[in-house]
Structure 1
Amino acid sequence: MTISRVLLLNGPNLNLLGGRQPDIYGKETLDDIVSRLRTQAVKAQWELKDFQSNHEGDLIDAVQAARLDGTRAIIVNPAAYSHTSVALLDALNAYEGMVIEVHLSNIHKREAFRHHSYVSQRADGIIAGLGSQGYIAALDAVIARFAA
């Protein structure tokens, strides 16, 4: 049996989760979230690869690597790059697998500049405002899509 791979890609400042504005982003750390997702993935016989960077080019490199290594889906929280990065959108447009965009907060209830996401133009699904539960829902959606 071949194990399917999903890439969890997190953008700038998400390494500060748990200590950065917990009233907006929650008290869980990124490591806490990754650990929960890894457990969920293993139970479903999936491999979870996770990557976080504060650097746009590193995120683009990770998307490009996913094109070549058999990754079936990307769950991405582009953070602030949602609103600014055409380059990340271009990389995701070149990726043929499933893409789910996740935001811990509801970006549509925040400052006006956060209401637009370039990444949303490529995403197969978008989850916003559910906190860390949004990541769980995204992985559930990926697993269900490929189980059919």
Structure 2
Amino acid sequence: MTKPVGWCATWLPMIKLAQAICHFIVIMVFLDGRHQWYMYNAILTFSFLALFYSFFTILLRFFELTELHFMSFNFAAMLCNFVLMVLSLAFSGILIWDICNMRDGPHKIKYHDRLPPVTIGQDAWIRRCVLAASSLLLAGLLYLITYLKLRGVATS
């Protein structure tokens, strides 16, 4: 059984699509300079997994495959959204800390393994990190909204 096609314009698929777009932006930003610091690779991997999760949950809900043997699907989705929210906000905070250190100069970023690629440059890399941090912050807020809305659905 599937939902009607108009279901794709309801709140859940639209929020999940917005989350996927936020993570896609992070992926595009970190494709070039991810070798500078291991945390950039962790954020890139997290974004790939979160992007997959967003599309996977849209498909599961569209085809109404929502029965789990050990817990309700809404509870599992709430738990996943909470974990993704915490990770998105934590990674955003790490990037904001990294941005502040990069603005203070190269002596503050000795934890980086390499300098930004020459084709990008330090200032452009800082702007990319700002874009990634804001995308992760927005994704975290969208996960919070999804968590709260699913919590309301699960309790009613």
TM interval, short-chain normalised: 0.3 to 0.5
Task: Give me the TM-score of the superposition, normalised by structure 1.
Answer: 0.32
Normalized per residue, which structure has more strand? Answer: 1
Highest RCO, 1 vs 2 (Cα 8 Å, sep ≥ 6) = 2
Quick check: which has more Rg, 1 or 2?
A: 2
